[in-house]
Each structure stands twice: as structure tokens, then as C-alpha cells.
Amino acid sequence: MTVFTEYQRAYSTDSKVRSRVRFSVVILILGLGIFAILYHRKNILNEQSLRYLRLKPDTEDKFVAEPEVSKPLTPLAEKAQVKSAAPPQDPDAPSAICVAKSHPGDTCEKYMYGYGIFSINRLKQMNAGLNCAEDIKPGTHLTIRNQQTCGTECTPELC
């Protein structure tokens, strides 16, 4: 045998190994691709995903709720009734139908975007003396719906 024959035999064997490795890699990639496509998984973009979060006002503690009218109770039921922990109405709160109480760090922009008010100037018109250059003082009651009930949609004429 000559050197050339030995080299040719070694190279052809190496070529067969390389082609087998390439074939194995292609089959592995195709298998992983099919597995990824057919694998059942939960939808990543659900309602709790960041793409679906919208800036919504916190309705539990920011709105001053109107008192509920209850049915007359029997004397036994009156004794057993537990008083609800509804926040008392502030005497200096505005007399608007729908107001919101500010919390630390609240700004005019947060109220404008959070409650659907169309401009900061409109927010200032509904709340005389409001200074939007700095944070709103905690505990301040702001009108967020002009002569409307809470939960109604804002229109440029009304909000």
C-alpha cells in the first residue's frame, strides 16, 4: 500500500463519519422542531400578561361610596347587625357625585390616564385650585366625573 492509498482510505472513512454526524444532527433538529410545534403548553399571552394590563383605577378604596339603603330589620336582627367599616364622609370633600381620594405619590397624570380624563386642563377645571406642578397631597378629594356617577364613560364634553 502506498501513502496515497492509506490517505484515501482514511479520508473516505472520515467522510462517512462526518456524513453520519450531519445526518444525526439534522434528524435531531427536525425532531426538536416537531416536538416544539406539537407540544401542548399554556398560552403565554393570557389576561394576566403585561401586554393585557391596563391602567385601571383602584375602585375599592378610592371612590367615596354612596350609602346603601337597607331593609327594615326585626329587633333581634338589629342587635345582631354588625356595622360596616365604610369610611366616613369628610365635611370638606367636594359635593361632586364621583370623587377619588389621593394617596402618596399620586400625580395629575396618574389621575388623567387612570380615570380616562381627556386633559390635565380639564382635571384642573373640575378641581379648582389643583396644582399639577407637584404631587397631590394624600387625602385630597378630586372630582373625576363631572356631574356623573362613578363608572360612566368619559366623553370630551363631560370629562
Domain of residue 122, CATH code: 3.10.350.10
Segments forming the whole domain that contains residue 18: 1-41
Q: Are residues 30 and 98 in the same domain?
A: no
Q: Which 3 state secondary structure label does DSSP give 101?
A: strand
- pLDDT, block means (10 residues), the chain with 159 residues: 68 73 93 84 53 50 57 54 44 56 82 76 80 79 69 63
Residues 61 and 139 in one domain: yes
One domain for residues 104 and 149:
yes
pLDDT of residue 129: 81
Please report the pLDDT score of residue 116 as a whole number.
74
Q: Is 98 helix (H, G, I), strand (E, B) or coil?
A: strand
61 plus 137 within the same structural domain: yes
Helix, strand, coil percent values for the chain (each to nearest 5): 35, 5, 60
Count structural domains, the chain. 2
Note whether residue 48 is domain-resident: no
CA 88 to chain centre: 30
Q: How far apart are CA 12 and CA 130, in angstroms?
A: 86
